Copies of this chain bind each other. A is one copy, B any other.
Amino acid sequence: MANRAKATIFDIAREAGVSKSTVSLVLQGSGLIRPETASKVRKAIEDVGYVYNRGAANLRKAHSNVIGMVINDLTNPFFAELAVGMERVFQSAGIVPFIANTAENPVRQEEVLKSLMEQGVAGLIVSPARGTTPGAFRRIETAGLPVVFAMRRLPESRIPVIAPDNHRGAYLATAHLIGKGHRRLVFFGGSSDLVVYHERLGGFREACETQGIAARDALVVEGETSRRGGIGCLETALAMAEPPTAALCFNDAVAFGAMLALRKRGLEPGVDFAIVGFDDVAEAEHYMPALTSVAVDSAGLGERAAHVMLKMIQSRTTRAEDHIGAVNLVVRESCGPDRRTRNRTAGSGSMN
């Protein structure tokens, strides 16, 4: 049975026959205490079942050792990996990060941020929810709390960002498709309230432009960033008068959806229609056919974000440089050459 009142350093002090200050010193691992006294105290701590009250300590210390991680969608393995990467580095710094999920809901995000601040976190790593208002972080900024954004950025904000090179990733992927002979391409999924969307779409467009694809052959179908969204996009695309032959998808989930929809129609992804994903989640490698995708190293970005945060805390600053992570295209089986284009090219290849 638990003692009614929880033990405090006073109880330990009494038990060990020293003063509360001595106990406090031992707790902090101070070298000022004679080793035998220290071990006497430690024994007492064990005996009374003491648990340290960090809240009380922070009242004096002014800097906690907890860091908040705010994730917009934990069920997306992509973000979960990001979280795991961060945890790895915090762990070795003796910090336990607390993760909170916003489920892509700005209102929930507000609550979560408030709660984390009240808890006295030392810093915040945030992957902001879609639809976050520009002012959502003002309070936190004026409080002087270090914040870094991961994966996503807000339209106008001075908060440092750790994110993959979305533009370049999309460019690479699109160039790959064009190189395979595709001449009518589409960008699947996402919506314009996300900065990431504009970055990836920008890369797609630039690749089309510089590689001689006319603007009217660079299509865009917006949609949910989920499997379901991918299914919808594909159906929209194939219903067009002159359908595209290859798609760059906003993310892997959309790509999986699109491949699924192809199969449903009796078309084989990779041979009848080319698909490239984005993010390269673990599943991409194991899919049938294996998905060609832009790898962004989310765990690595998580680690990077954690390092930046640690540095900010240590140097008591609220500013840091952005970090744009390298990406690379992992070519697998989901995009072969365009058949129709090849035929067309055979007949009229010398005209362009």
Q: Tell me the A residues contacting B by CB distance below 8 Å.
A: 2, 6, 49, 51-56, 58-59, 66, 74-75, 77, 80-81, 83-84, 87, 91, 96-101, 103, 108, 111-112, 115-120, 139, 142-144, 227, 256-257, 260, 263, 282-283, 286, 288
Contact = CB atoms under 8 A, between A and B. Distances in A.
Contacts of A288: 260, 263, 288
B77 A120 contact: no
A20 to B, nearest CB: 16
A99 B96 contact: no
A75 B87 CA distance: 12
B75 A80 contact: yes
Contact of A49 (B98, B118, B143, B286): B143
A141 to B, nearest CB: 8
B51 A2 contact: no
Contacts of A286: 227, 256-257, 260
A180 B318 CA distance: 64
A35 B39 CA distance: 56
A87 B101 contact: yes
Contact of A54 (B56, B74, B118, B143): B118
Contact of A81 (B75, B87, B144): B75
Contacts of A101: 83-84, 87, 99
B74 A118 contact: no
Contacts of A227: 286
A143 B2 CA distance: 6
13 contacts: A51-B118, A53-B118, A54-B120, A55-B119, A74-B74, A75-B77, A75-B84, A87-B101, A91-B108, A96-B115, A98-B99, A256-B286, A260-B286
A119 B96 CA distance: 11
B74 A80 contact: yes
Contact of A99 (B91, B100, B120): B100
A51 B66 CA distance: 17
Nearest to A71: B99
The 6 nearest A-B residue pairs measured at CB: A55-B55, A2-B144, A98-B98, A96-B115, A99-B99, A54-B118
Contacts of A66: 115, 119
B100 A97 contact: yes
A118 B53 CA distance: 5
Contacts of A53: 59, 118, 120
A143 B91 CA distance: 25
Contact of A143 (B6, B56, B77, B103): B6
A277 to B, nearest CB: 14
A142 B87 contact: no
A54 B101 CA distance: 20
A236 to B, nearest CB: 19
Given A51-B143, A74-B83, A227-B286, 5 more contacts: A2-B143, A51-B118, A55-B55, A74-B74, A77-B80
A51 B111 contact: no
B2 A142 contact: yes
B55 A59 contact: yes
